[in-house]
Structure 1
Amino acid sequence: MGKIVLSMSMSLDGCMEGPDRDIGWHRVDDELHRYFNERCAGMGAFLEGRVTYELMEGFWPTADSDPAAPAPMREFARIWREKPKYVFSRTLRQAGPNATVLGEVDPEEVRALARRYPGDLAVGGADLAESFRRHDLIDAYDVYVHPVLIGRGKPLFPARDTGTALRLTGTRAFGNGVVLLAYERE
């Protein structure tokens, strides 16, 4: 059974996006993108909220058709198309190829998906991540801290009344200043 992994970028001041969903401050260069690709290629499936899915689906299915696109982007486009995707949404009724729309987060259903795939499942989207945290479904956290203070925006980890004990399982510093902090539940 694979782990359910929250894999997200955040600013040093804890935001996963700025005002108006701005992520232009992300520092994704070829080195970091190749690492993302390596990590995503080993995933069993992507679990996403509607907003994240629609943003990804709006760009990645054809990103490798642009001959000017860097090689890591073209590679990720292929990974994106091939991986199964599960979209949690109350409003979306259908999704593109290789995607299944699910409604509310059902912990039993999510754990069944984790047992179904040999690789880990990647959780994407802040609202979905918070729902998974509420249901105690996240096994590991891969947090990519970008060397920027954005001042205000949506926090990656909103305040809540309960905590989760974690243990550090790895770190990696990238040449662009981004640092990966990898944690698993104790």
Structure 2
Amino acid sequence: MWHLDEMFMSLRGEQYMRWRAVDEHGTELDVLLQKRRDKAAAKRFFRHVLRLAPVPRKIVTDPLSSYPAAKAEIPELAGVKHVFVKAAARVNNRAENSHQSTRRRERAMSRFGDPVRTQAFLSSFGPIRQQIALPRHCMMAQSHRAALKARLSAWYRWTVIETEECAY
């Protein structure tokens, strides 16, 4: 199941749409930054997500008319059930809440600037954050610290190996 959502961002005074796909477990599938919110933009986003993730059983979106119009033109999504939810109903919270970590990062960085660099950052930030972030509400403090230490040490080993390979 995919939860799809879009959000307005202002980069250098221009409005951009950040399209985002999240699976049923809250794992970010893809992020795409575009200037438009029309059928062509939604179709491009669907194709972008389909390159990275398998075809879902169900798609959950807000009632933006671009989604069904674009979905109808993509053959892989012809048999996929499409569920519309109202923004006020909070049924699509999986996608809505996934914006929070990016908003925090945006504030810490004093806003994003360049659209190309923002797209590159958002594409890499989600998977890295998911590797390190843990479900704290499900863990005791001691086990949380141990799991975080293990994940961070694996991350450091991986990044050191990658940087050493690139140095040669």
TM-score class normalised by the smaller sequence: 0.3 to 0.5
Q: Structure 2 length normalisation: TM-score?
A: 0.35
Greater length-normalized contact order (CA 8 Å, ≥ 6 residues apart): 1
Report which of the two structures shows the higher radius of gyration computed on alpha carbons. Answer: 2
In terms of fraction of residues, the more strand-rich structure is 1
